[in-house]
Amino acid sequence: MPDNWSYVFAAYGVGAGLLIGYWRHLARRLKRFAKSGGGADR
Amino acid sequence: MAARALGWLAVLALIAGLGAAFGYAPREAVQGNVQRIMYLHVPAVWTAYLAFGLVLVGSVGYLLTRRPGWDRLALAAAEPGVIFTGITITSGSIWGKPTWGTWWTWDARLTSTVVLFLVYVGYLLLRGMVDEPDRRARAAAVVGILGAANIPIVHFSVTWWRALHQPATMLGPGSAPMPLWMKMVLAINFLAFTLVLVYFLTRRMEIARLEQEA
C-alpha cells in the first residue's frame, strides 16, 4: 500500500487544530475573567 | 502556577507521543505509514471514554450530594470529551479513505460513536437552555448518566454486530495481538492525552467556579 502521508498529516493536523482551538477558547475565557470578573453562568 | 506546569507537562508528553509515533514506531508492513494515524485515533477515543466516565462520576455525585463541585466536574469533563470524540471521528474518517476506500460508512462502530458525540453535544446544549442552576445541574446529570451507557455500546459494537471497523484490539476479549512496541507507543500517546484532559479539566473547572462566584 502507498504511504499516503497526506492523510497522516491531515489527521494529525485536524487533531492539533481541535486541541489548540479549545485551549485558546479556555485561555480567552480565563483572561476575560482576569480583566472583568464576568461571564455567562453555565 | 500548578496549572501552567501541568500544561507544559502535557505539551512535553504530546511531543514525546509524536516522537514515538513518527520516530520510534516502524512503518507498518500492510498499511504503510498511514497506520500511524492509529497512534492518534485510539488514544483519542480512550481519552473520550475517560472524560465521559468523569461526567458520569460528576453527575452521580451531584445527584447524591447536590454539591456544585460535582456539577462543575461533569461540565468540565464533557467539553474535552466532545473534543476528543471529534478527533476520533475525523481521524478515523481520514484513515478510512486510503484503507477502506471511503470516508464514511454507517457501520455499528462509526454510527454509535457519532451517537456518543451527539449525546454529549446535546448535554452541553441542554446546559445552555436552563437558567436555574440546580435545575440545570439535575437535568444535565440525568443526561450525563444515561449518556455513559453509550460507552460500552461504542466499545463492544464491533463484537455485538457485523462491522467494517476492525474488532477491539486492546480492551477486548483475550490478549491484544499487537507487538510490545506498538502497545508502548499507544500508551505514551494515551498518557499524553490524559495529561491534556486533566489540564483542560482544571482550567474549565476554574472558569465554572469563577462563573458561579460572579
Digit-coded pLDDT (tens) for A1-42: 677 899 999 999 999 999 999 999 999 999 998 887 554 444
* Mutation for testing the B interface, residue in A6, A9, A12 having most B CBs under 10 Å: A12
The verdict on A18 touching B (C-beta cutoff 8 Å) is yes
**Model confidence over B91-117: pLDDT tens digits?**
999 999 999 999 999 999 999 999 999
For residue B18, tell me if it sits in a domain: no
Residue range(s) defining the domain that contains residue B116: 36-213
For residue B70, tell me if it sits in a domain: yes
Which residues of chain A lie closer than 8 angstroms to B40, CB-CB?
11-12, 15
For residue B150, tell me if it sits in a domain: yes
For residue B5, tell me if it sits in a domain: no
For residue B48, tell me if it sits in a domain: yes
For residue B8, tell me if it sits in a domain: no
Residue of A nearest to B79 (CA): A22
Residue with cell 484503507: B99
Give this complex's ipTM: 0.91
**Model confidence over B152-207: pLDDT tens digits?**
998 888 888 777 777 776 666 666 677 888 999 999 999 999 999 999 999 999 99
The number of domains in chain B is 1
Alpha-helical runs (H) found in chain B: 2-19, 38-65, 68-100, 108-129, 133-148, 150-160, 180-213
For residue B130, tell me if it sits in a domain: yes
Considering only CB atoms, A18 lies closest to which of B32, B83, B128, namely: B83
Please, what's the largest Cα pairwise distance for chain B? 57
For residue B49, tell me if it sits in a domain: yes
Which residues of chain B lie closer than 8 angstroms to A34, CB-CB?
none
